[in-house]
Amino acid sequence: MFFKDVIGQQSIKQKLIRSVREGRVSHAQLFLGPEGSGNLALALAFAQYLNCENRQPEDSCGTCMSCVKSLKLIHPDIHYSYPAFKLKAGSENPALSSDFLPLWREAILENPYRNVAEWLDFINAENKQGNISAAECRSIIHTLSLKTYESAYKILVLWRAEYLLKEGNILLKLLEEPSEKTLLILVAENRDQLLSTILSRTQILSVPRLQDNDLLQALIHKHEVSEADAIKIVRKSDGNYNETLRQLKNTEDNNQELFNRWLRLLFSPDTPLLYQWVDEVAKIGREAQKGFFRYALEFLHECLMLQHIGAHQSRLHEDERKLGDWMARNMGAGDWQAMADLFDQSHYHIERNAHPKILFLNLSLQMLPIISRKKLSLTA
Ligand SMILES: [Zn+2]
């Protein structure tokens, strides 16, 4: 991960970079900050920077062999420990983080801001508790005692030190006297849940909540959300980027549901239900309506990719695919153009204060002939 991809936290990034430049990197650090502050993201960016072969003043180079591997979380000298559970309940084999390594890479590359509950969900823990077991601690000691493969530092990033419980004391000696060029970066959210023995042996880096403006910039530039929508989302996020992502997903899910239902109503016209839909969408507010049209245009684009290039190039989610496949099978060049023009014009008119109820009703009437003349069935 690059420092530039970590949201906000400018002064912390500067502090970490300065510690490398001045050769004052503490061998046992605790990145302590609330959910969504980016404490893990900072740890990943720091690890990448430390082992970069061509460090730049503000970030790692991104092109050296070390960066290439760090970016994919496959660097042989950067290790990860995180809550895990026994693969087979009741078995003698202890819970080890490495059992979940491919999933860890996938989950963290997708969102390094996710919380433990979401991680456990990702690895299908169901009701199983995650922990960092005594066996995991012993495995850490073993791993860090091995020679480095190729880089400046051997690094352990331990995500959520709260999950160490008593077993964490196995690591004390390592925290006190690690071997040369070995770094331990612990990441945690709740100081109260940490072993005092760990707190006293690590240098604490306090990571604050994110500032609203940093979240706002991320939404506008990274996620292409309109400023008005972004302000609403940020207000509900409380400096937590993970919460921002959840809010964003809710908005997207809502657009997807509205759009999906609309096309189905157009396909097998049911006038009362269509009127009901128009009433509903007329009330969601102008910004949300603009969001609906942006979603609709993106959806058309993805359907076109599906039709012309194939499924591998489509970014449609699983639950959008059925409708997407149907569109790709049934729509011709003229249809795509007609729909795109309609959505584009509607977006334009919503922005200029058109009456939403009239606009959505008119739009539905213009869409009807495009959709309903397709003979193949669109089943749920
Ligand atoms: Zn590099």
Going from the Cα of 59 to the center of ligand 1, the distance in angstroms, rounded, reads: 9
pTM for the predicted model, two decimal places: 0.80
Q: Contact at 8 Å (CB) between 266 and 364? A: yes
Q: For 112, how many CA atoms within 13 A lie in the half-sphere containing its CB?
A: 24
Mark whether 245 and 265 lie in a shared domain.
yes
What's CA 284's distance to the chain center, in Å? 26
Q: In 10 A of CB 167, how many CB atoms?
A: 17
pLDDT above 90 covers a percentage of the chain that reads 68
Distance 223 CA to ligand 1 centre (A): 26
Separation of 115 CA from ligand 1 center, angstroms?
A: 28
Q: DSSP label at 126?
A: T
Residue with tokens 């959210």: 189
Is the CB of residue 75 less than 8 Å from the CB of residue 151? yes
Mark whether 34 and 116 lie in a shared domain: yes
Query: pLDDT tens across 317-361, in order?
Result: 888 888 899 899 989 889 999 999 999 999 999 989 899 999 999
Distance from residue 215's CA to the centre of ligand 1 (Å) = 27
Cα–ligand 1 centroid distance for 201 (angstroms): 30
Across the range 150-165, mean pLDDT stands at 92
Domain end (from 181, 209, 237): 209
pLDDT in tens, 104-128: 999 999 999 999 999 999 998 887 8
CA of 217 to the centre of ligand 1 (A): 26
Q: How much distance in Å is there from the Cα of 66 to the middle of ligand 1?
A: 6
**What is d(CA 41, CA 202) in angstroms, rounded to the nearest whole number?**
19
CA of 50 to the centre of ligand 1 (A): 9
Residue 294 domain-assigned (yes or no):
yes
Of 157, 191, 209, the one marking the end of a domain is 209
Whether residue 377 is predicted with pLDDT greater than 60 in this model: the reply is: no
Residue 143 Cα to ligand 1 midpoint, Å, equals 23
Least confident residue range of 35-39, 145-149, 207-211, 321-325: 145-149
User: Do the domain assignments include residue 44?
Assistant: yes
Residue 201: count of CB within 10 angstroms of its CB: 18
* Same domain assignment for residues 153 and 286: no
Distance CA 363, CA 366 (A): 5
Q: The domain containing residue 120 runs over which residues?
A: 3-209
- Single out the residue of 107, 156, 105 nearest to residue 132, CA to CA: 156
Task: Tell me, yes or no, whether 142 lies in a domain.
Answer: yes
336 inside domain: yes
What is the chain's mean pLDDT, rounded?
Answer: 91
Residue 187's nearest CA partner among 16, 336, 41 is: 41
Q: Is 138 a domain residue?
A: yes
What does residue 319 show for φ and ψ, rounded to 5 degrees? -75, -5
Task: Give me ligand 1 centre to Cα 225, in Å.
Answer: 32
Residue 334 Cα to ligand 1 midpoint, Å, equals 48
If you measure from the C-alpha of residue 60 to the centroid of ligand 1, how many angstroms do you get, rounded to a whole number? 5
Give me ligand 1 centre to Cα 69, in Å: 9
The CATH number covering residue 328 comes to 1.20.272
pLDDT value at 39 more than 70: yes
Token pair listed for 228: 């008005």
Q: Do 270 and 221 have their domain in common?
A: yes
C-alpha dihedral (304, 305, 306, 307), degrees to nearest 10: 50
Distance (angstroms) between ligand 1 centre and the Cα of 165 equals: 35
Cα of 64 from ligand 1 centre, angstroms: 4
Closest by alpha carbon to 241, among 278, 287, 209? 209
Q: Are residue 226 and residue 203 in the same domain, yes or no? A: no
Q: 3 C-alpha to center of ligand 1: Å? A: 12
Predicted local distance difference test score (pLDDT) of residue 207? 98
> Average pLDDT in the 236-260 region?
92
Q: Phi and psi at residue 240, in whole multiples of 5°? A: -115, 110
| CB hemisphere CA count around 228 (13 angstroms) | 8
Reported confidence tier of residue 376, pLDDT bands at 50, 70, 90: low
118 and 258 both lie in a single domain: no
Separation CA 185–CA 150 (nearest Å): 19
Place of tokens 């990702």: 122
Q: How far is the CA of 148 from the centre of ligand 1 (A)?
A: 17
Of 11-20, 169-178, 233-242, the poorest mean pLDDT is in 169-178
240 and 168, same structural domain?
A: no
Task: Note whether 230 and 135 are same-domain residues.
Answer: no
Residue 378 lies in a domain: no
- Whole-number pLDDT of residue 380: 43
Domain match, 103 and 60 both = yes
Query: Which of these three, 209, 235, 269, is where a domain ends?
Result: 209
SS3 of residue 365 by DSSP: helix
Question: In this structure, are residues 8 and 38 in contact, taking their beta carbons and an 8 Å threshold?
Answer: yes
| 254: its two tokens | 């809502």
* CATH code where residue 197 lies: 3.40.50.300
Q: Rounded to the nearest whole angstrom, what is the distance from the C-alpha of residue 175 to the centroid of ligand 1?
A: 27
Ligand 1 centre from 17 Cα, in Å?
A: 14
Say if residue 277's pLDDT is above 90. yes
Q: Is residue 380 part of a domain?
A: no
How does pLDDT run across 82-105, given as a tens digit for each residue?
A: 999 988 877 788 889 999 999 999
What's the CA gap between 159 and 72, in Å, rounded? 17
pLDDT of residue 209: 97
Do 285 and 145 lie in a common domain?
no
pLDDT tens digits, one per residue of 181-230 = 899 999 999 999 999 999 999 999 999 999 999 999 999 999 888 888 89
At residue 276, φ and ψ (nearest 5 deg) are: -60, -40
Residues 168 and 230 in one domain: no
Task: Give domain status of residue 24, yes or no.
Answer: yes
Cα(268) to centroid(ligand 1), Å? 57
How many angstroms does the Cα of residue 48 sit away from the middle of ligand 1?
Answer: 7
Can you name the residues that pair with 159 across neighbouring β-strands? Answer: 187
Number of domains making up the chain: 2
DSSP string, 292-352: HHHHHHHHHHHHHHHHHT-GGG----HHHHHHHHHHHHH--HHHHHHHHHHHHHHHHHHHT
C-alpha of residue 18 to centroid of ligand 1, in Å: 17
CA–centroid distance, 102 to ligand 1, in Å, is 23
CB atoms within 10 A of CB 359: 18
**Judgement on whether residues 168 and 263 belong to the same structural domain of the protein:** no
pLDDT on residue 210: 98
DSSP state for residue 5 in the 8-state scheme: G
